[in-house]
Amino acid sequence: MKLPGNMQQMMRQAQQMQEKLQQDIAQIKVEASAGGGMVTVKMDGQKNLLAVKIDPEVAGDVEMLQDMFVAASGEAVRKVDELIKAKMGGVLGGMGLPPGMF
């Protein structure tokens, strides 16, 4: 099915914007910590865990260590989500869509 010229241009523009957004998300790197920095995690834009740093002081308390790891990971996911949402807002804002559509 052939789309009108203006529609084809809009579709191309949307595809380019999506590709740029994916590239921007791939560049995201966040760091989050818990327990006053006793556990620190690094995560990328696809929410892959890249690194974990554990203060040797908490290494003996497995239960507390597990809780801090979960808390730090959850905070990293929230940071990634916030950055993606901000980037998407910028991209979608450039499309001239009415407020509140996304």
Tens of pLDDT along 28-50?
A: 999 999 999 999 999 999 999 99
Residue 101 is predicted with a pLDDT of 45
- φ/ψ of 45, rounded to 5, equals -65, -20
* The pLDDT value given to residue 36: 93
Q: Give the residues across from 29 on adjacent strands.
A: 44
Extents of the domains making up the chain: 26-93
Which CATH architecture describes the domain 26-93?
Answer: 2-Layer Sandwich (3.30)
pLDDT at 2: 63
pLDDT value of residue 102 = 45
DSSP structural state of residue 31? E
Point out the residues of the chain with pLDDT beneath 50.
101-102
Burial class (CB in 10 A: 0-12, 13-18, 19+), 84: middle
State residue 60's pLDDT score.
87
pTM over 0.85: no
